[in-house]
C-alpha cells in the first residue's frame, strides 16, 4: 500500500512483492527490502537507514533525500534524486530523465545509462573513497557479482546555491 514503512525507525521490513507510492518515505533508520518493484517517490525525504528495491523504481525515487541509502537493482524513473540533500542512491540499471535535478550533496551511482541529468547535476570523478563507500553499500544490500568500478558517480556542480564545502560541518 501507500507509504509502507514510512517513518521507519529501526525496524527491518521485507515486502514480498511490489510496493505502492512512497515506500520508506521519511525513513529514519532500519531497513526495508522490496522483493519487487516500487512505485513513485520511493525513499522520499528519508533521513537514514537502507532501502533496497530488488526490481525497478518509478519516478522521483529518492526525492529530497536527507541521509537515506537507496539501492535499486533495476532502473529508476524520471526526476529521481530531485533536490537530494545527502545520502546515496545506487542504481544497477538505467536512470530516466532529469536525474539529480537541483541536487545538493547526495551521491548518485549509476551502473547503466542516464537519459539526462537535471539542473546542476554533473558526472563526477569516482575516487577510491567512493569505490569503497559504494562497495560497502552493494555488500549491505546483498548485491553479488557486481563491482563498484562498473558505476559512474553524479552529484552537484554547486552552482545553484551558496555552499562552501570547507564549511560543511557547520551546516
Residues 32 and 53: their CA atoms lie apart, in Å, by 8
Predicted local distance difference test score (pLDDT) of residue 33: 98
Region label for 149, one of left (φ > 0), alpha (ψ between -120 and 50) or beta (otherwise) = alpha
Query: How far is 99 from 111, CA to CA, in rounded Å?
Result: 13
- Closest-CA residue to 64 (of 44, 91, 48, 78): 44
Q: What local confidence, expressed as pLDDT, does residue 166 receive?
A: 74
Residue with cell string 552529484: 155
* pLDDT of 163: 62
Q: Are 87 and 109 in contact (CB under 8 A)?
A: no
Phi, psi of 105 (to 5 degrees): -115, 10
- 112: exposed, middle or buried (Cβ count in 10 Å: 0-12, 13-18, 19+): middle
Predicted pLDDT at 140: 97
Residue ranges in the chain whose pLDDT is less than 70: 161-165, 167-171
Burial 9-39 (b: 16+ CB within 10 A, else e): eeeebebeebbebbbbbbbbebbbbbeebbb
User: Residue-wise over 131-163: b if at least 16 C-beta within 10 A, else e?
Assistant: bebbbebbeebebeebebeebebbbbeeeeeee
- CA pair distance 107, 97, nearest whole angstrom: 17
Rounded to 5 degrees, what are φ and ψ at 147? -105, 145
> What pLDDT, on a 0 to 100 scale, did the predictor assign at position 168?
65
Contact call for residues 6 and 28 (beta carbons, < 8 A):
no
Report domain extents, the chain: 9-154
Amino acid at each position: 500500500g501507500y507509504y509502507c514503512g514510512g517513518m521507519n525507525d529501526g525496524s527491518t521490513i521485507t515486502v514480498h512483492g511490489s510496493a505502492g507510492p512512497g515506500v520508506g518515505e521519511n525513513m529514519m533508520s532500519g531497513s526495508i527490502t522490496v522483493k519487487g518493484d516500487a512505485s513513485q517517490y520511493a525513499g522520499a525525504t528519508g533521513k537514514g537507514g537502507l532501502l533496497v528495491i530488488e526490481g525497478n523504481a518509478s519516478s522521483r525515487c529518492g526525492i529530497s533525500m536527507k541521509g537515506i541509502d537507496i539501492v535499486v537493482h533495476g532502473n529508476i524513473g524520471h526526476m529521481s534524486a530531485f533536490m537530494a540533500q545527502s545520502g546515496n542512491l545506487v542504481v544497477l540499471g538505467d536512470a530516466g530523465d532529469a536525474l539529480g535535478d537541483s541536487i545538493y550533496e547526495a551521491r548518485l551511482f549509476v551502473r547503466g545509462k542516464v537519459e539526462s541529468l537535471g539542473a546542476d547535476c554533473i558526472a563526477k570523478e569516482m575516487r577510491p573513497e567512493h569505490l569503497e563507500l559504494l562497495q560497502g553499500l552493494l555488500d549491505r544490500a546483498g548485491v553479488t557479482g557486481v563491482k563498484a568500478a562498473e558505476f559512474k558517480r553524479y552529484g552537484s556542480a554547486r552552482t545553484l546555491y551558496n555552499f562552501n564545502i570547507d564549511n560543511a560541518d557547520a551546516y
